[in-house]
Structure 1
Amino acid sequence: MIEKSPPFVSIILVNYNSASYTIDCIQSIKKETKADSYEIIVVDNNSGPADRDKLLSISGTDKVKLVFSRINLGFAGGNMLGVQQARPDSEYYFLLNNDTLFRNDVCGLLSAYLELNTRVGVCTPQTYKGDGSMDHSFSYFPSLGINVLGSACMRLIEPDAYPYKKKHYTEPITVPVVTGSAMFIRGPVLRQLGGLDTTHFLYCEEEDFCLRIKRAGWQSALVPAAQFVHFAGGSGSQSWMVRREFYISLFHYFRKYHGPFERAALRIFYTLKNARKVFRNREFGRLAWFILRGAPMAESLRYRQQMR
């Protein structure tokens, strides 16, 4: 009997001024991954010269391919550039944040799960914080209901669509939206759906992709046996411009999937949510006005950068 070779996995890491995280992540992948059938594509999203120079230390190393973009393509765009540079017939693509570390053989465990569960299109490992505590690995689809009623009430209405995020799961579970920091995607599914929506620059890529997966008849899942550490925020900042970018992506998502009445209600909800914080910081007032104007895509960070 001929033993089947392990499926090939293309791991995509996007780097932006965080080369130290990227290098540590690569070392972690190499240490914990048992099978030899993988590659690592590192996409540098127009980092500063010092950070790019630091990345050169991994150029040409075993299983690692380094790609430099002349502009910051954002999260979705950077990942899709990585996919273009990856092996075209990969069985699986792992879109992984660079500020992460493997705790065990994540690729082996996730690929084994997908090999057995043929209706699952994307899965994710269990997330742990840098301090070792467990973090949630999935979320819910954005909607007016979840914002107004909360997850507890929505769970009473539709229990399967709102599993407990803080529960310690020991067995795989179907979830609405896997964490965007570790999306392990079946190759044919990624190609069928055309990848991530690159209109999203920094946020909501996973919500958009998981909704398209659901509509195409596939499932999303958490596989708790696979475990990784995510140093949340390690590869980005939370400036006011970045906060605005969240709402730009969020309302792009709403424009794609929600009707005009719900979009109007959501705009009012988020406007009031930020306006009530104006006494804490005046920037919340500016953010509220930005949302009331519809969080226009023309003001995205993607249009406020220069090539190096």
Structure 2
Amino acid sequence: MHHPSISIILLNYNTSQLTLHCVESIRNHTQWPNYEIVVVDNNSRYEDYLKLEPLRDIPNLTLVRSRINLGFSGGNMMGVQYADPETDYYYFLNNDCLLLNDVCTILATFMEQHPNAGIVGAQMFKPNRELRYSFGYFPSLGLKYLGHGFMKWYRPEQHPALKAYQEPLEVPFIMGSTLFIRATDFREVSGFDITHFLYVEEEDLARKMHAIGKVLYLVPEAEYIHLEGQSTAPCYEIIREYHISLFHYFRKHHSYPAVVLFQLFYAFKNGKKFYKHRNFSRLALFILKGCPMGESLRYRQKISIQ
């Protein structure tokens, strides 16, 4: 029986132990006979990168190091360049994830049976096995100004209930910690938009997939744990980076008047919490300024000599 090829791409940034555990979970659970793993070190501290060296002894695993932090989109696109150019599927998996079952076989089989599927995702859990939502809704003016309840009633097909599912479900977009993608579709839409440094990549990619007529699915039979927050520590600059990506997405997919309304909503949402911490006021002013891309962390990266 012919088995299509799968290229599993992981990013490492100063979290080598997580990467090693993730690779171990892939190898322990994956029965699919035709897969490779590409690990991209996103310019970690050199001592952290060196801890990944044992991976070079694993068959069908490629370890590469970028001398500059390319962010999520850029790092994954670098991984694509080192993957088999004729691969059938890409599986972009966060390194702070642990597979609970044979996710690759389940998702690849589903994709083979559903030619209309562009991206599929597994069911996400917290480390204590508590359910986490594996899909989300596209940010819209309706959601922001009218609320989730109204939009679920008004457009239920675009806002499926956030709950546990037993059967595959069409969803707006899959969370970026686990994106299983048909390679031909990924190439057709030019992959990730590398302007996004850390956030909102999955929403953007999903919009591009919908534009070519593809459907996105949650496949709950496939299960994984996501140790969210382990690879990126929350701080004001990270929160600001999220808004830079978010408003790049808005400018790309919405009209100018809509972008202005989004600005007003997010500025007010943060500004009204000024008494809790001064960062809320700083963020509100930054949003009113337009969240300029020129202030992204992308432009503070330094080239490593190692």
Q: TM-score, normalised by structure 1?
A: 0.97
**Could you give the per-residue CA deviations for residues 257-290 of structure 1, whole angstroms, max 9, x where no partner exists?**
1111111011011011111111111111111111
Q: What displacement does 1:239 show?
A: 1.2
Corresponding residue of 1:127: 124
Is 1:200 the counterpart of 2:222? The answer is no
**Could you give the per-residue CA deviations for residues 29-79 of structure 1, whole angstroms, max 9, x where no partner exists?**
000001221000000000012211111121232221101001100000000
Return the match for 2:272 from 250, 272, 276: 276
Find the residue that maps to 1:59 and give its secondary structure: helix
Q: What displacement does 1:150 show?
A: 2.0
Corresponding residue of 1:117: 114
Write the distance in 2 (CA, Å) between the matches of 1:152 and 1:110. 31
Write the distance in 2 (CA, Å) between the matches of 1:135 and 1:67. 31
Find the residue that maps to 2:36 and give its secondary structure: strand
> Equivalent residues in 2 for 1:1-308 (5 A)?
4-165=1-162, 167-308=163-304
Write the distance in 2 (CA, Å) between the matches of 1:99 and 1:192. 29
Write the distance in 1 (CA, Å) between the matches of 2:127 and 2:159. 26
Write the distance in 2 (CA, Å) between the matches of 1:192 and 1:225. 28
Write the distance in 2 (CA, Å) between the matches of 1:170 and 1:26. 27
Write the distance in 1 (CA, Å) between the matches of 2:254 and 2:89. 31
Write the distance in 1 (CA, Å) between the matches of 2:291 and 2:129. 36
**Could you give the per-residue CA deviations for residues 190-219 of structure 1, whole angstroms, max 9, x where no partner exists?**
111110111000000000000110011001
Q: TM-score, normalised by structure 2?
A: 0.98
RMSD, aligned α-carbons: 0.8
* Runs (5+) with no aligned partner, structure 2: none
Write the distance in 1 (CA, Å) between the matches of 2:73 and 2:126. 23
Count, aligned residues: 304
Find the residue that maps to 1:101 and give its secondary structure: strand
* Runs (5+) with no aligned partner, structure 1: none
Write the distance in 2 (CA, Å) between the matches of 1:5 and 1:93. 17
